[in-house]
Amino acid sequence: MKQTGANDAFVKFSGIQKTYDGETLVVKNLNLDIARGEFLTMLGPSGSGKTTTLMMLAGFEVPTRGHIYLEGRSISGMPPHKRNIGMVFQNYALFPHMTVEENLAFPLKVRKLGKSEIEARIKVALNMVRLSVQGKRRPGQLSGGQQQRVALARALVFEPKLVLMDEPLGALDRQLREEMQLEIKHIHEDLGITVVYVTHDQSEALTMSDRIAVFNDGIIQQVAAPAELYERPQNRFVAQFIGENNQLHGKVVALHDTTCTVEIPGAGNVQALAVSVDMVGRLTVLSLRPERVKLNPTPGSLPNVFSARVTEVIYLGDHVRARMSVCGRDDFVLKLPNSDGGAHVQPGAAITVGWRTEDCRALDAS
């Protein structure tokens, strides 16, 4: 991913607000810079504002307040067809009466390119998406995955600097969706274009993105690289939305520089990183990834060790998912690779579990 400063962002959202009824803000004071050549994903639940933000960038919606800049130029009042932005939608939006080649030729004819140039670009685009022999077919003669490849080729054929994708893989089955994720990622890397991608699928976002902007209630909760979001969520919503997450509710009873002691009612004290807590007496929710929990740790090896009882074991091939009662929670989850003897954990077993201070994050309680 290419880096950029705040003043030379390729795409810049500045103070963007959007309301449809004059009262409820769907997007609330959005500020976001996107670097040239970056693959940025807008991730969030339905109604979080991510698609509205994408539609404002495309020009299909107009901001109620604020400005959107492309290469330093405000495009807030510019119609969609003049923004020279490629678009890929979930429903493909192909012309059913046209062949694949005719679908790809359409945006080139609109731009008044010559016949030989059109033919050359179509050939390159079809090779890029591995459809070079399907050019004479109509969309109805293609599979869903092939139609999505055509839609992608059409968005790229006129060589836009920016491509927007709105849930483009949502209609595909799981295996095909995973294949297309890697194809889109590799095309992005090969061409060096800027991609803004919208999805509600967290695994898709983690797989494809340079950075992810997590939306909720019209606000970006956190923007970071996939590993940063997963390993170091800054609030409870991000911790819940990105990956599986154990939560323990408690109260801060001591602060020690970057760490804190949290009292869990009826269970004792937990040592954690002080992420979103700043005073003793503050309620907090501890976030702990299931794969960070250790089974039957060596006595004295970890600062946080508790007794637990296994209530359910699910065998998932490469790992075992065990649900247990611990620290007053009946929904506490532990993930064990089979290489760690996970297959030997049985329902009803009394065990101990433990974790490191740095793997447990004290977040906001709201």
pLDDT at 341: 55
Q: What is the tens place of the pLDDT at every residue in 282-326?
A: 999 999 999 999 999 998 999 999 999 999 999 888 888 999 999
Q: Is the dihedral of CA 30, 42, 229, 1 positive or negative?
A: negative
- Candidates 246, 249, 278; CA nearest to 262 is 249
State the DSSP H helix or E strand holding residue 353, giving kind and residue range, or none if neither: strand 350-355
pLDDT value for 5? 39
pLDDT at res. 7: 54
**Residues 226/263, Cβ–Cβ less than 8 Å:** no
286 forms bridges with which residues in the sheet?
A: 248, 362
Whether residue 323 contacts residue 312, with contact meaning beta carbons closer than 8 Å, is answered with yes
Backbone angles phi, psi at 39, to 5 degrees: -105, 100
Is residue 106 within 8 A of residue 146, CB to CB? The reply is no
| The pLDDT value given to residue 1 | 43
Domains of the chain with CATH codes: 6-236 (3.40.50.300), 244-363 (2.40.50.100)
Q: 81 burial class (0-12, 13-18, 19+ CB within 10 angstroms)?
A: exposed
pLDDT at 176: 86
Q: What is the pLDDT along the chain (366 residues), one digit of tens a residue?
A: 444 334 579 999 999 999 999 999 999 999 999 999 999 999 999 999 999 999 999 999 999 999 999 999 999 889 998 898 999 988 878 899 999 999 999 999 989 999 999 999 999 999 988 899 999 999 999 988 899 889 999 999 998 989 999 998 887 888 888 888 998 999 999 999 999 999 999 999 999 999 999 999 999 999 999 999 999 999 999 999 998 999 999 999 999 999 999 999 999 999 999 999 989 999 999 999 999 999 999 989 999 999 999 999 998 888 889 999 999 999 999 998 877 655 578 899 999 999 999 999 999 997
Q: What is the pLDDT of residues 131-157, one digit of tens each?
A: 999 999 999 999 888 998 899 999 999
CA-based nearest residue to 277, from 362, 357, 366, 361: 362
Distances (CA, A) of 349 to 55, 320, 345, 352: 53, 15, 7, 10
